[in-house]
Amino acid sequence: MSIRLPFIKNKQKELSQLTTIDKENTPDHVAIIMDGNGRWAKQRSLPRIAGHKEGVNSVVKVVRAAHQCNIKVLTLYAFSTENWKRPKKEIDFLMKLPKEFLHVHLPELMEKNVRIQTIGDFEALPKHTKDTIQHAMNKTKNNDGLLLNFALNYGSRDEIMHAIKKIMEDVNGAKISIDSLDEQVFSKYLYTRGLSDPDLLIRTSGEQRLSNFLLWQLAYTEFWFTDVLWPDFSEEVFQQAIEEYQQRQRRYGGI
Ligand code: FPP
């Protein structure tokens, strides 16, 4: 079954709304917990998958906005290790969304110099999902603009356990010594190796929790919550988040 997605047509209108952002002081790395798709659909007496389908439009909007604001990394929580508990029909639908998104938008991502990457247990994803994403990662690997990082089959505790096991293997194999293990070395064993920690975390839908997302990496991140449901997320909401971030004083435990 093919899924028809009503993608945004009027690009110019959307982008012109971001012109007031101070682009000198934008966060390097923005991470988003895209929440509220199910409630958005329920409010309209639609099946939950209609909310996810509409949520893809918000992904398109936020990628364009992040690109325009010179943000370096955009990490989107698209599927957690806990999301496997959902009904099979919903999981199957979610697993097809990368293909629907990339089929339409890969040319635009190439044109915008966007590189695609994932964090999470990639190998456990269905083959068709992996193949689509692998193709996009190969195609965009030399792009050096915005890094669009999808957290897919991602769970922070799973990531930390995975890192600990690998460290123990490397200690046993004399590849590293326990004495050399510090925060920087540990970070290299995480899925996010090589990425700076998020500067700003956005969560939509009014929930104020982390849901097993980037627990290590969010130690000094600024959090911004909004009641807006993910399918209603817009450039204006993104702009509001960035502007409020720009007012924050980050002290990292100092004074
Ligand atoms: C949480 O809302 C959302 C998800 C588990 C899926 C998020 C996925 C997308 C927005 C699309 C991803 C797009 C690509 C291209 C990979 P929920 O379903 O838990 O909402 P609820 O709390 O209202 O039920």
List the beta bridge partners of residue 32.
76, 202
Q: Would you state the pLDDT for residue 123?
A: 98
Tell whether 178 is covered by a domain.
no
Residue from 237, 206, 188 nearest 21 by CA? 237
Tell whether 253 is covered by a domain.
no
Q: Would you state the pLDDT for residue 21?
A: 74
Q: Would you state the pLDDT for residue 18?
A: 65
Q: Would you state the pLDDT for residue 246?
A: 96
Distance CA 249, CA 192 (A): 25
Instruction: Tell me, using a 6 A CB cutoff, whether residue 120 lines ligand 1.
Output: no
- Give yes or no for a contact between 81 and 160, defined as CB atoms under 8 angstroms apart: no
Tell whether 184 is covered by a domain.
no
pLDDT string in tens for the chain (255-residue length): 333 333 333 444 445 556 567 778 899 999 999 999 999 999 999 999 999 999 999 999 999 999 999 999 999 999 999 999 999 999 999 999 999 999 999 999 999 999 999 999 999 999 999 999 999 999 999 999 999 999 999 999 999 999 999 999 999 999 999 999 999 999 999 999 999 999 999 999 999 999 999 999 999 999 999 999 999 999 999 999 999 999 999 989 898
Tell whether 182 is covered by a domain.
no
Residue 228 lies in domain = 21-155+197-246
Instruction: Check which CATH number belongs to the domain holding 118 and give it.
Output: 3.40.1180.10
- Give yes or no for a contact between 201 and 33, defined as CB atoms under 8 angstroms apart: yes
Tell whether 98 is covered by a domain.
yes
pLDDT tens digit sequence for 141-160: 999 999 999 999 999 999 99
Tell whether 185 is covered by a domain.
no
Count of domains for the chain = 1
Q: Would you state the pLDDT for residue 20?
A: 67
Residue from 14, 2, 7 nearest 107 by CA? 7
pLDDT tens digit sequence for 1-22: 333 333 333 444 445 556 567 7
Q: Would you state the pLDDT for residue 6?
A: 38
pTM for the complete prediction?
0.93
Instruction: Tell me, using a 6 A CB cutoff, whether residue 150 lines ligand 1.
Output: yes
Cα of 217 vs centre of ligand 1, distance in Å, is: 21
Q: Would you state the pLDDT for residue 5?
A: 37
Q: Would you state the pLDDT for residue 92?
A: 98
Q: H or E element: which one contains 151?
A: strand 147-154
Residue from 236, 227, 157, 239 nearest 191 by CA? 157
Sheet holding 222-225, edge to edge: 115-119, 147-154, 73-80, 29-33, 200-203, 222-225
Tell whether 211 is covered by a domain.
yes
Instruction: Tell me, using a 6 A CB cutoff, whether residue 36 lines ligand 1.
Output: yes
Shortest-distance atom of ligand 1 to CA 51 = 18
Tell whether 140 is covered by a domain.
yes
